[in-house]
Amino acid sequence: MGISILTVCYLVGSITFIIGLKMLSSPVSARKGNLIAAAGMSVAIAGTIFLYKDDNGEPLHNYGWIFSGLLIGAIIGTIVARKVKMTAMPEMVSLFNGMGGACAALISIIEFGHAIDHLKSSTGIEVIQTSYQNDFRIFLLICCAGLIIGSVSFAGSMIAWAKLNGKIRDFAFKGQHLFNIFLLLVILGLASYLIGSLPAGGKMIFYLIFVLSLLYGILFVMPIGGADMPVVISLLNSFTGIAAACGGFLYNNMVMLTGGILVGAAGTLLTILMCKAMNRSLKNVLIGSFGAKTPATQAGHPAGTYKEISVSDAAMVMSYAHKVMIVPGYGLAVAQAQHACHDLEKLLENKGVDVKYAIHPVAGRMPGHMNVLLAEADVSYDKLLEMEQANEEFPGIDVVLILGANDVVNPAAKNDPSSPIYGMPILEVELAKTVIVNKRSMKPGYAGIENALFFQPKTSMLFGDAKKVLQDLIAEIKSL
């Protein structure tokens, strides 16, 4: 009876994962979908703890360790999630994703160790086949896959976290891409040798694969530039899902397998979409062949003269416009200015101005960063336009207000073949009648690339902290 109930628990968990993932596709239902998936996960965890029995009919033991781990993890996760700022959300996503990869790698290490111990203390491979209900070679293949993918995800996510947090900088050496490919081939070669022959030193080879996979994860992410970080986060997320699915195979756990497959598939699809948004091939992402350093001539040298606009003039222009498009960027997140931005939007609409938001798919530091930021301020989802929609409307827009965005509005992506971002689809804000750019200074954006938009005749710079500038704009517009 217990097994059948456990099967139902796993079925409920799998179904809620699918429903939750489907609901995450829309900002309107994303929060509810997240809660539904979390509830399904809770059912699956509770079922495993209280209903699972091994082949000998024995339930789980060491409940003290199990519940201690759950309690500590729940407390830490709750505190971190409540205290994290929106600007630090990408770092938290990378950190949590890395923990998932580490868990998957540890599962492979533990199960491989158990298998080797069985071989030494029992009748041999037959015992392994009985224990895991699979061919031993398939078991080794899954173990190696979980180890390699989980280790790469963990190490890469930790580097991504440190880079986003400003603790380390981009690093690359001559021929690194070729070395990365060579290292990956060595890892795959060792895994193939281990699976094919299971030599006497199998444990040492397995641990060597573990170390080399960690090294590859580090070298894979180290040279990647900041503008490409959304792609990296999405790709590493898919790695973690695949590694978790390998753990589901090892334990013959259907809910773990389903969850891992869903995360891996969703992460892969999102990675492809991110690559398309940045005009990069998946092949380049997989070998770490993107995000190169920007030449000095583009990174910091002025491209011309710019003109400034005062807060009062900007307020006047926006108040008497028919259509205003706001382009949010990381500067908005840093200033925690989303609520002030929403207040400006409501004030302008009260004056009869049509206000919308243009969202680039890789604006910010992670996929959907700007959507989450504006949702926190209760901005209507109907006002958020995707890049293709926004580009169709820019020619009819009177004023574009850019808040901290840089690379996603850089016209060099369209007209400068020498630019590192050449070919990347951008928000074509230069098609609007007037462009107002809010930045703290004229320093280049996260990718370190100078933006020619700032020096165009129709562009005016409005310097200052985004929150303070928006509050001043609101005060000026109210006084008109």
Alpha-carbon span 429 to 401, nearest angstrom: 9
Which tokens hold the place of 139?
């078991």
Selection from 295, 271, 287 nearest residue 97 by Cα = 271
CB 94 within 8 A of CB 159: no
In single-letter form, the type of residue at position 265 comes to: A
Which residues are designated catalytic?
407
Dihedral of the CA atoms 371, 377, 380, 383 (nearest 10)? -60
Residue 451: is it exposed, middle or buried by C-beta count within 10 angstroms (0-12/13-18/19+)? buried
CB 249 within 8 A of CB 187: no
> Phi and psi (nearest 5°) for 202?
-60, -40
CB 230 within 8 A of CB 248: no
Alpha-carbon span 183 to 208, nearest angstrom: 12
CB 334 within 8 A of CB 466: yes
Residue corresponding to tokens 């998957």: 104
